[in-house]
Structure 1
């Protein structure tokens, strides 16, 4: 990505036309930057995925209090829950549930 040195707008790319070389131009001001024919613009960058850490682990919910909440997957009526403040202080806390059905163990949030 190239930006206009005059106004800071993202420069647009224009293909070569009628003997004129390809160029970058600014759509808001008269800035033009011609591109040499030997320059390659293509560049690849490998992105590395970060490991995703769970917000809560099953160990956190083993000793957690239980409540009567219906599991959306198996309709079991009991779930363990824990509460975290994931947003700003003036927003309500997020409640994380885990189904207590041994075959399901579904996790969801409210």
Structure 2
């Protein structure tokens, strides 16, 4: 959004016509400004990804309680370590993260 420096009104956009380039103009006073035909990018900056720390570490799962009622979707083994988190609102059930003791496959149940 551009504003008129003389009267403070919001400038309107006018499409290019014949030899006249596109411009912004003030509807109340004779002020107008030309638009640059192209935007120039002066420099490019590379994005660096930050290292993300895991929410559940291997130490957490090695010290976690174990159950023999979890069925691993990867190998079918029934024993797994589990950790419960409240990831949603309080009236929703907890999210349970499992890790199979046989193949170390991790999965979750909501």
Q: TM-score category by the smaller chain?
A: 0.5 to 0.7
Change (3 A) 1:89 1:43: farther
Where does structure 2 lack aligned partners over 5 or more consecutive residues? 4-14, 25-31
Cα RMSD (Å): 3.1
List structure 1 runs of 4+ shifted beyond 4 angstroms. Answer: none
1:1-110 counterparts in 2 under 5 A?
A: 4-5=1-2, 18-21=18-21, 34-37=34-37, 39-40=39-40, 44-67=44-67, 68-101=69-102, 104-110=103-109
Shift of 1:42: 7.3
Shift of 1:5: 4.7
* Higher CA-based Rg: 2
Shift of 1:85: 1.5
* TM-score, length basis structure 2: 0.62
Where does structure 1 lack aligned partners over 5 or more consecutive residues? 7-13, 25-31
Structure 2 Cα separation of the partners of residues 92 and 70 of structure 1: 19
Structure 2 Cα separation of the partners of residues 93 and 22 of structure 1: 58
* TM-score, length basis structure 1: 0.62
Structure 2 Cα separation of the partners of residues 86 and 64 of structure 1: 18
What is the number of residues matched between the two proteins? 90
